[in-house]
A and B are shown apart, each in its own frame.
Chain A
């Protein structure tokens, strides 16, 4: 469809709990969001038909817009007067999304490439099997038999490289005889994208037991990774096999003007678009009820990870288990028994749709969110790395750095924008809370812009960006992103109370003196743009080099400019009394929570 002829766009995202529909319309020369509706997802019993939830969400949009988009047959198209749409698109993560298992020969080489291909396509990777993953053969077989993935991606060996190890992986798979998660009557899709010389043997082992597809090698040579064809095939299989088994999707497919996209793949697309069009390094995070997805683009290299069991409702107890009660308690400026804290978190897990009523409960949830973000980000950094196994020449300087050559691509000093999404970030009562959760969870260094997705519509805009990039970009910038401001933070740590940062910040119509010590945080409220003229201590780097002054324009937003001298990593006092005082001071300095007399909550 020609982009010019598109005036009315309807897009839905079928989430695991809620189906969200947005209406976009062309007003004059630009596309803008007009209405949004939501309804519970109906992919599970007793409804077992995803289109019911889609109809309900769209009918809410119809009510709000005073127009009609659906009739008994489905979506009315094209748009005429007060009826119909020109484009209808959908994304989905309902029913647990796309769950995959990947395998490769070497854990940190081909298996990691396979993992990146699956994650980039929007999948949850249930496990990664490799010849050198430390497990015995029978343990791998037992694990594969337990899992019921939607599909399996097998890589391994460069072209002309090892055959026997690739065949060994295929033998393990054949022995396990894995079965798909949905449906009992069809074979598990397996994509083979390893050493092409091993195809015959792999086919012999797996063709009869699985629905085997061969693709070009994902890692034809050590220096090159070709993820595109594998990701495309994953999408095709997601549509053809996985979605075909999910109730109601055949009908939904008949309504849409483009293939249904897995939700995380769509979010990844919009993050990449944002990075490309603004030529920036960016991190995006979507913290949901069940999972936390992190997307990053550094020097045009895109990476996505999903932490499948780090979330704010269904998986909230897993955050507690992984980080420990003490790490959650360290963010709370009041005393609560760990046993009481754990009971409260477990009650949230079993009643996931409840919301914090008291300020105390809100602080607990936001403390957990910081830990979930931090754990998911640590996971992301371990996977967002350069290709391993590549020989490279080191400079003398590098040789003295004693580094392993496996550094993450994530460079916090080079990060230019951090975008947050998900209930606890998009719907925090104060925007400054969203900003602080992201700052504490990611701990950016230098100057970084902060933004949140206003009403979580990145998935719909992601799928739209494929079909109608102009519409997607305009809505994304005007209606989706809320710019919170920027954070300026020195790298490293100093002695609490020592001088750290001084100078002045000015903006149209005002200015402020800055005189900060280690352990302080200051928020200069305003939309900016701010003109920073800041001098760090001689050992401190705030983005211009150690001890060098920073003179540049910094973007503002609904919060403003955060000058964060609390250290990287954050300097939280060990002693409880001191820590509580410290937290109360920080929270008061940025106006994070309603405070009463002398800083008490």
Chain B
């Protein structure tokens, strides 16, 4: 491929943001196109079939499965309460008897004369999809969901955990190289999204959880801290469903890595504003990166220069050893393949690193800074 580099993650001061909010199953959409919504507004809802319970009724009654329909007190479709007797068996003038109770409140869905089982389904569970961001409903997909649009500052991270949340942004450090320590997380940060610097530790994550922080944004995290906080190791890069009360967005990667100056400066500018955060990450079929959305009412869109590809002067970050995390500008784009230290023949880019050093790096190992 001629352009074998990674496009950088978006860090934009103001850009149109559109979020598709869709139900897992068909349902109803209580909002209309053009309506203003806030992160907590329910924009679509449905009922997921309730939890089923299979009761081995014929075993409990000590009868043949084929006899079950004749001893049922409840028919398919009948409502039952937890503990209610649904089948009763009596033989030999009452000398042999048994009864079967419903394990849950619900509806009798199936009675099997083959397996002797009765299925009781609990009432349907309501599922609501919220707007997640402040904005306007621009499109309604009947029975499925909506699209919500806004103009916002939009920042993508490289990796995250935890689902969606919203809260006030607060800069908790003074410098992008600073470590977010537990003592920088205060009681009044409840419901806030905190901006850290180069690293967040397991102790800080626990402190944030204790205080009730909604989310944390920082440059890096160590593998051991992530493991320590979650209690297990993440195997596949699909996150967002962790059982944790906060969201984490890592902007640079694993290790102690200062947050990119551009990202930190933008977050400093947005300090105190309402933001939405989503730690969900999926680095496979349909890449999904974690994100922070800060809607900005009344702000004017400025035309941003779209990344067009690697050119002389393009600002890049090296994303692999031996210069992992270093920033620089493209100084050369040799056409011919070159042999690198690993002996692989690859397409390379020459980069003038900050500090003056000039290095040659595989094109696949740099990302463009927007």
Q: Could you tell me which A residues sit within 8 Å of B by CB distance? A: 16, 38-40, 43-45, 94-96, 137-138, 141, 163-165, 167-168, 171-172, 174-177, 179, 184-185, 198, 201, 205, 290, 309, 314-315, 317-318, 320-322, 339, 342-344, 346-347, 349-362, 427, 429-430, 594
Contact = CB atoms under 8 A, between A and B. Distances in A.
B245 interface: no
Contacts of B341: 357-359
B226 to A, nearest CB: 8
A168 B24 contact: no
Contact of A355 (B24, B237, B365, B367): B365
Nearest to A324: B233
Given A45-B286, A168-B117, 14 more contacts: A165-B115, A167-B114, A171-B119, A174-B110, A184-B23, A309-B236, A314-B283, A342-B254, A344-B321, A347-B324, A350-B159, A351-B320, A356-B344, A361-B342
A185 B141 CA distance: 13
B320 A361 contact: yes
A270 B343 CA distance: 31
Given A314-B236, A317-B235, A339 B285 contact: no
B236 A315 contact: yes
Given A309-B236, A347-B324, A357-B340, A96 B52 contact: no
A306 to B, nearest CB: 14
A174 to B, nearest CB: 7
B182 interface: no
B324 A349 contact: no
Interface of B: 1, 4, 6, 22-26, 49, 51-54, 65, 109-110, 112, 114-117, 119, 121, 144, 158-159, 222-224, 233-237, 253-255, 281, 283-287, 319-322, 324, 340-346, 361-362, 364-365, 367
A351 B253 contact: yes
Nearest to A366: B342
Contact of B144 (A40, A43, A184, A309): A184
Contacts of A185: 26
A354 B343 contact: no
25 contacts: A39-B1, A164-B65, A171-B54, A171-B110, A175-B54, A179-B24, A309-B235, A314-B237, A317-B234, A317-B237, A318-B236, A321-B235, A342-B254, A343-B222, A344-B321, A349-B237, A351-B158, A354-B362, A355-B362, A355-B365, A358-B321, A361-B342, A362-B343, A427-B344, A429-B342
A359 B346 CA distance: 14
Given A355-B365, A356-B344, A350 B158 contact: yes
B53 A138 contact: yes
A201 B66 CA distance: 13
Contacts of A430: 343
B344 A354 contact: no
A318 B222 CA distance: 17
Nearest to A339: B224
Nearest to A365: B342
Contact of B284 (A16, A184, A353): A16
Contacts of B121: 175
A359 B343 CA distance: 8
A321 B236 CA distance: 9
Given A95-B285, A357-B341, A318 B253 contact: no
A73 B285 CA distance: 28
B233 A321 contact: yes
Contact of B285 (A16, A137, A350, A361): A16
Contact of B344 (A138, A165, A321, A429): A429
Nearest to B363: A355
A345 to B, nearest CB: 8
A194 B243 CA distance: 39
Q: Which of B53, B159, B342 has the most CB of A within 10 A?
A: B342
A205 B254 CA distance: 50
A354 B364 contact: yes
B255 A343 contact: yes
B319 A351 contact: yes
Nearest to B348: A357
A401 to B, nearest CB: 37
A171 B285 contact: no
A165 B115 CA distance: 7
Nearest to B323: A357
A96 B324 CA distance: 30
A353 B237 contact: no
Q: Which of A43, A95, A138, A354 has the most CB of B within 10 A?
A: A354
Nearest to B324: A347
B37 to A, nearest CB: 22
B223 A343 contact: yes
Which 4 A-B residue pairings sit nearest by Cβ, starting from the closest? A318-B235, A175-B52, A429-B343, A362-B342
A290 B112 CA distance: 42
Nearest to A163: B114
A45 B19 CA distance: 13
Contact of A44 (B52, B119, B285): B285
B76 to A, nearest CB: 12
Contact of A342 (B224, B235, B283, B320): B224
Q: Which of A16, A40, A184 has the most CB of B within 10 A?
A: A184
A352 B287 CA distance: 11
Contacts of B362: 354-355, 357
A104 B59 CA distance: 22
B342 A350 contact: no
Contacts of A141: 51-52, 54
Contacts of A321: 233-235
A144 to B, nearest CB: 10
A290 B284 contact: yes
Nearest to A343: B254
B31 to A, nearest CB: 19
B342 A94 contact: no
Contacts of A346: 159, 223, 253-254
Contacts of A163: 114
A198 B24 CA distance: 32
Contacts of A175: 52, 54, 109-110, 119, 121
Nearest to B143: A184
